[in-house]
Amino acid sequence: QVQFVESGGGLVQPGGSLRLSCAASGRIFSNYVMGWYRQVPGKQRELVARITNGGTTIYADSVKGRFTISRDNAKNMVYLQMNSLKPEDTASYYCNTVPWYDPWGQGTQVTVSS
């Protein structure tokens, strides 16, 4: 079982940037494809970016060109650099494996508003 602690969210104006961090603990981190998910109340959790243990990345169309996922296997960390943020990026952001497994971390709230 891998456990997650997300951080780095906050309030940012449209066009701004944030960098999210995820600390993972538990099983061998480097074995897993890792992803960043986001959720808004009343909607399903959405996978926005994933990265393989070799560094191959895939992004949802809604964030492609604006978000960058990265990982540091030595530190058991996953990051999400978010640029050119839009109000529709407002959500709680979570990291997890892909596919995901319970338990989820507490997430980190990102609010994009002027």
Q: For residue range 65-105, what is the model confidence (pLDDT) as tens digits?
A: 999 999 999 999 999 999 999 999 999 999 999 999 889 99
8-26 pLDDT, tens digit per residue, is 999 999 999 999 999 998 7
Q: Contact, 36 vs 62, CB < 8 A?
A: no
At 112, list the tokens.
């994009």
Q: Is 84 helix (H, G, I), strand (E, B) or coil?
A: coil
Q: Which of 19, 16, 54, 22 is nearest to 35 (CA)?
A: 22
Q: Is 62 helix (H, G, I), strand (E, B) or coil?
A: coil
Tally of CB atoms within 10 A around 111: 15
Bridge partners of 82?
18, 67
Q: Contact, 33 vs 101, CB < 8 A?
A: no
At 53, list the tokens.
């243990």
Between strands 2-7 and 34-39, the pairing is unpaired
43-53 pLDDT, tens digit per residue, is 999 999 999 99
Q: Which amino acid is at 36?
A: W
pLDDT for position 29? 73
